[in-house]
Structure 1
Amino acid sequence: MIELQRLNGTVFSLNIIHIETIEALPDTTITLTNQRKMIVLDPVADVTEKINTLYRSIGMFATQRGT
């Protein structure tokens, strides 16, 4: 799970398995697999980095190897 900040400033944890899309509309809007939308203060790039960091930490993000 990653921590994000709602528009009112409260922090919450989101299970990344349920994320379908992340868009800047202009606020960062996260659409979940159940079509529920979450609007957060975190920029798209920060949300993506948090997701990638979590995947790396649990070994689900392959490391790139030289050819």
Structure 2
Amino acid sequence: MIKLTGLNDREFVINADHIEKLTETPQSVITLTNGNKYVVKESNDEIIRKVIEYKRKIYRGDFK
């Protein structure tokens, strides 16, 4: 799960394993495997970094 910020400045969490596609138009649009789309303030590079950090924690067993 990664924490993101919507355009309304409210934080929410999505399951990083369900991200299918990222586009920047100029905001980042996340498309999930179920077709839901979310527009967020973070750049695509920031989202990718968060997903990598999340995956590293999972593989290490570090759930803090």
TM-score (norm: length of structure 2): 0.88
Unaligned stretches of 5+ residues in structure 1: 61-67
Runs of 4 or more off by more than 6 Å in structure 1? none
Q: May I ask how many residue pairs the two structures share in their alignment?
A: 60
Root mean square deviation, CA, Å:
1.2
Select the structure that is richer in helix.
2
TM-score (norm: length of structure 1): 0.84
Larger radius of gyration: 1
* Distance in 1 of aligned mates of 2:15 and 2:33: 11
1:65 corresponds to: none
**Displacement, 1:33?**
0.5
